[in-house]
């Protein structure tokens, strides 16, 4: 987290990897619902719906289905920063129009930097405190986000 | 709330008034700590400290002191939108750098529109649900924010 001084290792989690897909394609996979649903949830979980209004204050919502067929309530968060092909920040602390949700779990930061023909991909999950970080780690942040990234890369290559 | 379709009367509170001070001076009173501390809290309460980093994700923090001399812990929120002399959005759901705070009470929207030599001033408090709105109403939103606006106008006139 040397290059990201705003990140606190006590409360935050980070995944960093260089992948062989251009930032442009990763951006499309993150910001177009028909593509995001193809990779967002590690299989055999599925993302069955996705709502994106790509501007600060706009909705970012996903609906997931468990391997047993249980559909979880949509988690309606909102975007905070949108920098085309470079940076995406969203949170579950606020709903569309910045309405507070009362409780929150995390703010996510996705950073894309061109590296050769590929991308240096950084995903950060910021939490309120070490307990929330620990919970996210137990939920399998590293493995889950890593597997989703594998799926993202595989899907993004079909967009080239 | 006719002119603000994003506002939900079930969960939100709004104060609207035309005041005889230009938007430029109201903006300064809202965004410069040495001025904000002069009006932000209805007397005999006081705002004894204020931290402002005027950009999305930047800190907005105030420290208040009760008439009995009790100093409340600083409430460190962050800005979400900053449109010079026109719009200010901040929330207590997120701290500096958009870090979630776990719990939240409100997102505030301040809108300034020139009207003659003065300003149409709109202050909106958005809550998660009707219960939070009710709590804010009981805390005296209308009277408190109205009195603070009186103090703001009086102080802003000294900046002309």
CA distance B94 to B86: 22
pLDDT in tens, A100-110: 999 899 999 99
How far is the alpha carbon of B114 from chain A, nearest alpha carbon, in Å?
Answer: 24
Single pTM value for the model: 0.93
* Contact with chain B for residue A98, Cβ under 8 A: yes
**Tokens at B63, concatenated:** 């420290």
Residues of B in contact with A107 (CB under 8 A): 94, 98-100
Strand order in the sheet with B87-91: B12-19, B118-126, B107-115, B87-91, B75-83, B59-65, B46-52
Interface probe, candidates B83, B100, B130, chain A, greatest A C-beta count within 10 A: B100
What is the pLDDT at residue B93? Answer: 96
List pLDDT tens digits, range A16-25. 999 999 999 9
Mean pLDDT of the residues in chain A: 94
Q: How many CB pairs under 8 A join A and B?
A: 96
- Confidence band (pLDDT; 50, 70, 90) for A147? very high
Please report, rounded to a whole number, the percentage of residues in chain A having pLDDT higher than 70: 98
Q: For chain A, give every domain's residue range.
A: 12-157
pLDDT for res A56:
97
Which of A9, A58, A98 to probe the B interface (max B CBs under 10 A)? A98
Q: For B3-14, how does the pLDDT look when each residue is reduced to its tens digit (9 = 90+)? A: 677 789 999 999
Residues 6+ apart with CB under 8 A from A94: A77, A78, A80, A100, A101, A104, B80, B91, B93, B94, B104, B107
Looking at the predicted structure, is the pLDDT value of residue A2 above 60?
no
Tell me whether residues A81 and B128 touch, CB distance under 8 A. Answer: no
Mean pLDDT of A112-141: 95
CATH of domain B12-157: 3.30.530.20
β-partners of residue B90 are: B79, B108
Chain B CB contacts of A89 under 8 Å are 57, 98
Buried b / exposed e along A18-28 (16+ C-beta atoms within 10 A): ebebbbbbbbb
* pLDDT tier at A43, thresholds 50, 70, 90: very high
pLDDT category at B27 given cuts 50, 70, 90 is: very high
CA distance linking residue A95 with residue B129, whole number of Å: 12
């Amino acid at each position: 987290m040397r290059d990201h001084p705003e990140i606190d290792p006590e409360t935050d989690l980070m995944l960093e990897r260089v992948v062989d897909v251009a930032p442009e394609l990763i951006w499309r996979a993150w910001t177009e619902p028909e593509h995001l649903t193809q990779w967002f949830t590690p299989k055999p979980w599925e993302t069955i719906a996705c709502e994106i209004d790509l501007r600060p204050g706009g909705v970012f919502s996903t609906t997931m289905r468990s391997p047993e067929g249980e559909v979880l309530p949509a988690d309606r968060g909102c975007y905070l920063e949108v920098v085309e092909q470079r940076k995406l920040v969203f949170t579950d602390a606020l709903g569309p129009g910045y309405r507070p949700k009362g409780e929150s779990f995390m703010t996510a930061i996705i950073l894309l930097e061109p590296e050769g023909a590929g991308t240096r991909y950084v995903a950060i999950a910021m939490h309120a405190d070490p307990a929330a970080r620990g919970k996210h780690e137990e939920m399998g942040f590293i493995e889950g986000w890593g597997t989703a990234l594998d799926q993202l890369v595989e899907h993004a290559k079909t967009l080239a």
